[in-house]
């Protein structure tokens, strides 16, 4: 019944606009989402509609179209021959939700076309501004870990330099251009995250940003649904390497696809260090991560509040760039000490009952999952929970990726696995069985149901890892 009636709710039009906004106003992505949804009552879940000029115009147009079609159907009902008019009324009423959706799609398409000249002017001005800007420009590309790398670089370098970076995930040409308009011009370092959705995206943004150096965080299945195969993904991400030419480029040496395509002159980074920085004696736990950092003749005992050994490589990159910019050892040590968990990225929260929740709900890639299961397995003497709805955009490899997650959980000996029922979590369950998992598996229909139940299931000292949050467009 919800399949039918949810399309006639007063909030139906708002749900459509929310879907358009969450799809970044990409027509094809919106339509794919539209045809996946069965119940429109729960579309607006992960976030809420942000009221902008564009969303407001779409809302007004959508409600007008809905009202017009309703009035038209009533008019048909009271005019003409009885038999045909009832039939026409019935057909039109059934068609209203779809006519509204496709009418709004057409309006969105026209909006996008009309907006392009304006966007072109904005991006051309931004490109000129960046060409004249004296600060060092750092570009970050990769299937995963871009935001974490950006925040680590920003925090460490800010200990001795004036640093600016776009907020949140402003990683498209227009988003970056909007940020550039607000620059003061006296920044010493600019850090940009490059988003990749289709081949050519990284090349296009690189030409806008004109980076002096870059970082490739790795290549995996995170956007396989769009790119179809890993080689195509890799070529797109390595467009940054092609643009930089001989300029410094750091590549994640712990990611197989990235490492094997590194060329002479590229700087590999990982838990052993990066460039002129070497790392020894790494230790991680719920209170943070510490290690000995060697730079030249200096040996520094440093500590970060970031959790997990997978953060050491990015911290080493930040330290190497910082020393290259002239920061002192004391400034680098202070910068690393200032790094802390980012919102929804392995963010620890301990409640009044003594249960620690590790919120990693924005982590939706296989490498991140592997790193976090490894971190969870390193915690001893406590009961560990792993809660997940699985990963999205895995394309043709979704079954194998999720079965491997199950096998990893079993090998790590995680005591409790909580799965949200959907199209991919049965594969995790199968992987658990294949690896002879001896712990307990719990199933919930919705993530909210699991969150509501956990306080009654956990006890003091438990650690609960929330892995990914199944974005709204995959309901």
* Tens digits of residue pLDDT in 272-312: 999 999 999 999 999 999 999 999 888 999 999 999 999 99
Does the pLDDT at position 79 exceed 80?
A: no
**Would you say the C-alpha torsion 98, 100, 104, 106 has a positive or negative sign?**
positive
Least reliable range by pLDDT among 10-14, 45-49, 81-85, 128-132: 81-85
Question: Cβ distance 371 to 217 under 8 Å?
Answer: no
pTM: 0.85
- Of 162 and 8, more confident: 162
| Dist. CA 410–CA 412, nearest whole Å | 5
Q: Mean pLDDT: which of 84-93, 161-170, 328-337 is highest?
A: 328-337
Residue 474 has pLDDT above 60, yes or no: no
pLDDT for residue 6? 81
Would the pLDDT of 390 be above 70?
Answer: yes
Name the 3-class secondary structure at 442.
strand
pLDDT attached to residue 45: 66
Where do we find the tokens 């997978």? 310
**Quick one: CA dihedral 309, 365, 179, 206, positive or negative?**
positive
Greatest Cα pair distance, the chain, in angstroms, is 95
Q: Is the pLDDT of residue 83 over 70?
A: no
SS3 (DSSP) at 270: strand
pLDDT confidence bin for 435, thresholds 50/70/90:
very high
CA gyration radius, the chain: 25
Q: Check whether 113 has a pLDDT greater than 70.
A: yes
Kindly provide the b/e burial profile for residues 273-296, where b requires at least 16 CB atoms within 10 angstroms of the residue's own CB: bbbebebeeeebeeebbbbebebe
Q: Are strands 298-304 and 288-295 parallel, antiparallel or unpaired?
A: antiparallel
At 472, is the pLDDT very low, low, confident or very high (cuts 50, 70, 90)?
low
Query: Hey, what domains does the chain have and what are their CATH numbers?
Result: 2-117 (no CATH), 134-338 (3.40.1190.10), 347-474 (3.90.190.20)
Beta-sheet pairing, 273-274 with 277-285: antiparallel
């Amino acid at each position: 019944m919800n399949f039918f009636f949810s399309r006639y709710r007063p909030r139906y039009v708002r749900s459509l606009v929310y879907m358009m906004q969450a799809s970044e106003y990409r027509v094809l992505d919106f339509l794919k989402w539209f045809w996946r949804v069965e119940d429109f009552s729960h579309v607006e879940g992960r976030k809420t509609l942000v009221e902008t000029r564009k969303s407001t115009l779409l809302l007004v147009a959508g409600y007008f179209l809905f009202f017009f079609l309703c009035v038209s159907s009533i008019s048909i009902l009271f005019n003409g021959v009885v038999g045909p008019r009832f039939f026409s009324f019935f057909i039109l009423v059934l068609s209203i939700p779809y006519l509204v959706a496709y009418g709004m799609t057409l309006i969105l398409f026209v909006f996008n076309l009309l907006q392009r000249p304006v966007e072109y002017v904005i991006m051309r001005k931004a490109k000129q501004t960046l060409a004249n800007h004296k600060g060092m420009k750092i570009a970050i590309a990769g299937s995963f870990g871009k935001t974490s790398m950006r925040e680590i670089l920003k925090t460490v370098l800010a200990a001795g330099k004036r640093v600016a970076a776009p907020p949140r995930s402003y990683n498209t040409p227009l988003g970056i251009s909007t940020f550039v308009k607000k620059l003061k011009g006296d920044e010493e370092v600019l850090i940009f995250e490059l988003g990749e959705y289709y081949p050519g995206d990284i090349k296009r943004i690189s030409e806008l940003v004109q980076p002096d150096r870059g970082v490739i965080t790795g290549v995996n299945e995170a956007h396989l649904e769009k790119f179809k195969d890993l080689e195509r993904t890799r070529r797109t991400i390595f467009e940054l390497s092609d643009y930089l030419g001989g300029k410094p480029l750091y590549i994640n040496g712990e990611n197989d696809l990235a490492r094997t395509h590194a060329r002479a002159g590229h700087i590999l980074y990982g838990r052993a260090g990066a460039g002129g920085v070497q790392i020894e004696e790494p230790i991680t736990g719920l209170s943070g991560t510490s290690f000995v950092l060697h730079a030249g003749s200096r040996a520094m005992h440093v500590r970060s509040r970031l959790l997990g050994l997978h953060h050491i490589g990015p911290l080493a990159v930040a330290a190497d760039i910082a020393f290259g910019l002239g920061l002192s050892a004391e400034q680098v040590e202070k910068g690393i000490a200032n790094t802390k968990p980012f919102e929804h990225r392995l963010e620890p929260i301990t409640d009044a009952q003594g249960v620690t929740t590790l919120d990693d709900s924005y982590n939706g890639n296989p490498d991140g999952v592997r790193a976090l299961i490894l971190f969870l397995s390193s915690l001893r003497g406590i009961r560990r929970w792993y809660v997940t709805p699985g990963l999205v955009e895995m394309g043709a490899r979704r079954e194998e990726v999720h079965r491997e997650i199950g096998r990893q959980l079993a090998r790590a000996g995680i005591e409790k696995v909580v799965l949200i029922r959907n199209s991919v979590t049965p594969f995790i369950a199968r992987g658990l069985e294949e690896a002879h998992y001896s712990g307990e598996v719990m199933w919930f229909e919705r993530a909210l149901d699991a969150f509501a139940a956990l306080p009654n299931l956990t006890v003091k000292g438990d650690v609960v890892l929330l892995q990914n949050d199944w974005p709204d467009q995959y309901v």
